[in-house]
């Protein structure tokens, strides 16, 4: 029995690690989903295995997902990995992408109890939101008293954003992923999020996937919206 449970747990792990979801609604993985929830031994072995590998298991709407835990260099991305994937050169460009990612998150969630009732976000929405948050942060003198790493990150992001035009002079390039404009950075970021199966793009509209919602909801439960507080949110968010 123990050997069979271990085998099922490994099947669940191998399915999830390839980026698939284990879901009740998916005929290809329904059996694994039922094993996970219907067999206590499989459930316990799967979660012990994930914990040992520094992987987080997220459950959302009859589906199971995994993400790399904090500092996981095997299954996650280092900053250098991200720069190579995105075609970036220096850290301030990567900080900008991270900041845009977090704003994408805040478009739908601002704490663990408040999912924003919206279907999608557009590039123009993100342009306005990122500009608004950066303006708010840099106008607050307390941002300069934070630790050196965060201080440098926010200041360099603000300076980089100020240097960029909203769009390039060629209208055809306004939605092209690049480091040449603010919209270019946003497009670059969302291309990555789409590749990670966190958003689906339909005619300049980005719809969050169930994977995104699972990660977003669990993020706020685990980290209590620390960056959101920096961005001006409630203290207990």
pLDDT tens for 118-156 read 789 999 999 999 999 888 776 765 555 555 445 456 777
Report the distance separating Cα 127 and Cα 6, nearest Å: 48
Bridge partners of 205, per DSSP, are 122, 202
Stretch among 22-26, 58-62, 183-187 having the lowest mean pLDDT = 58-62
Report the distance separating Cα 105 and Cα 101, nearest Å: 6
pLDDT band, very low/low/confident/very high, at 169 (cuts 50, 70, 90)? low
Q: Is the dihedral of CA 142, 147, 148, 154 positive or negative?
A: negative
Give the CA dihedral 199, 15, 42, 27, nearest 10 degrees.
80
> Where do the structural domains in the chain lie, given as residue ranges?
2-68, 79-230
Stretch among 98-107, 126-135, 202-211, 219-228 having the lowest mean pLDDT = 219-228
Model pTM?
0.80
């Amino acid at each position: 029995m123990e050997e069979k449970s271990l085998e099922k747990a490994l099947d669940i792990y191998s399915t999830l690690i390839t980026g698939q979801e284990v879901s009740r609604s998916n005929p290809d993985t329904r059996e694994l989903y039922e094993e996970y929830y219907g067999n206590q031994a499989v459930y316990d072995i799967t979660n012990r295995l994930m914990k040992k590998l520094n992987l987080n298991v997220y459950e959302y709407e009859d589906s199971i997902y995994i993400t790399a835990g904090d500092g996981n260099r095997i299954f996650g991305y280092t900053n250098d990995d991200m720069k190579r994937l995105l075609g970036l050169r220096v850290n301030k460009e990567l900080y900008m992408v991270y900041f845009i990612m977090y704003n994408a998150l805040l478009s739908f969630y601002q704490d663990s109890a408040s999912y924003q009732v919206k279907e999608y976000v557009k590039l123009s929405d993100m342009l306005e939101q990122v500009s608004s948050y950066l303006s708010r942060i840099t106008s607050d003198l307390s941002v300069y008293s934070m630790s050196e790493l965060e201080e440098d990150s926010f200041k360099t992001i603000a300076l980089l954003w100020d240097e960029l035009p909203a769009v390039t002079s060629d209208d055809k390039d306004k939605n092209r992923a690049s480091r040449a404009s603010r919209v270019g950075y946003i497009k670059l970021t969302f291309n990555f999020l789409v590749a990670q199966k966190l958003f689906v793009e339909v005619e300049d509209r980005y719809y969050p996937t169930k994977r995104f919602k699972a990660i977003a909801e669990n993020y706020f439960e685990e980290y209590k919206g620390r960056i959101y507080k920096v961005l001006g949110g409630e203290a207990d968010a």
